[in-house]
């Protein structure tokens, strides 16, 4: 795909990846921000099978480094009230770094930037990401990848920082 660094690759999630995903989701640095590993693996499996999400194991320098998915926030106004007016052609991204030793090393920024490039190449005008506002490591990684805050959503589950990367900004910085 255009704009994808050669050292980042994406492999669609298959059933054979589920044990790896479960192991990663069980790691404290992932579990802090994602839910119960059993439930999350099932949500990933179901979402990928139904087409609700496009999920990938991403590799850096040939080694599995984490999970990344795209989804359409406009399809979930009941679950994500902040997305109720979101255009249907704007994808969202979710990501986690699997191996703890890869956190804090720029891997998330690299993967998110490469993945956004794929989404822009497929026609997205803008890409959004919605980290917990307290997840400083994620917010920093997304900022390094070119995302900028555009709103904040506060509800009973906490504070969500809404961040975006536009196609024009992506192309300007590529």
| Average pLDDT for 95-104 | 96
Tell me, yes or no, whether 1 lies in a domain: no
Q: How many CA atoms lie within 13 A of 136 on its CB side?
A: 0
CATH number of the structural domain spanning residue 138: 3.40.630.30
Model confidence pLDDT, tens digit, residues 56-87:
999 998 999 999 999 999 999 888 888 988 99
Number of structural domains found in the chain: 1
Tell me, yes or no, whether 71 lies in a domain: yes
Count CB-CB contacts under 10 A for residue 156.
4
Spatial neighbors of 6 by CB under 8 A, at least 6 apart, are: none
Structure confidence at residue 4 (pLDDT): 46
Question: How far, in Å, CA of 70 to CA of 53, rounded?
Answer: 6
Tell me, yes or no, whether 136 lies in a domain: yes
Tell me, yes or no, whether 130 lies in a domain: yes
Angle CA(125)–CA(131)–CA(136) in degrees, nearest 5? 125
Structure confidence at residue 133 (pLDDT): 94
pTM for the model stands at 0.93
Which residues constitute the domain of residue 76?
8-172
Contact criterion met (CB below 8 Å) for 131 and 142: yes
Structure confidence at residue 2 (pLDDT): 41
Tell me, yes or no, whether 100 lies in a domain: yes
Task: Say yes or no to pLDDT of 32 above 60.
Answer: yes
Strand partners, 54: 70
Helices (H), 26-150: 28-31, 37-50, 107-121, 136-144
Tell me, yes or no, whether 12 lies in a domain: yes
Contact criterion met (CB below 8 Å) for 100 and 66: no
Tell me, yes or no, whether 2 lies in a domain: no
Provide, rounded to the nearest whole percent, the portion of the chain with pLDDT above 70: 97
């Amino acid at each position: 795909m255009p704009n994808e660094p050669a050292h980042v690759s994406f492999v669609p999630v298959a059933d054979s990846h589920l044990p790896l995903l479960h192991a990663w989701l069980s790691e404290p640095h992932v579990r802090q921000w994602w839910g119960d590993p059993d439930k999350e693996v099932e949500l990933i499996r179901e979402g990928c099978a139904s087409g609700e999400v496009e999920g990938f194991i991403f590799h850096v320098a040939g080694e599995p480094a984490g999970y990344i998915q795209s989804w359409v926030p406009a399809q979930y106004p009941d679950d994500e009230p902040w997305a109720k007016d979101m255009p249907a052609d704007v994808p969202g991204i979710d990501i986690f770094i699997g191996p703890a030793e890869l956190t804090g090393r720029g891997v998330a920024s690299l993967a998110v930037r490469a993945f956004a490039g794929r989404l822009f190449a497929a026609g997205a005008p803008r890409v959004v990401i919605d980290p917990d506002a307290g997840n400083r490591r994620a917010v920093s990684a997304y900022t390094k990848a070119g995302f900028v805050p555009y709103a904040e959503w506060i509800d009973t589950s906490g504070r969500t920082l809404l961040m975006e990367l536009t196609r024009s900004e992506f192309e300007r910085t590529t």
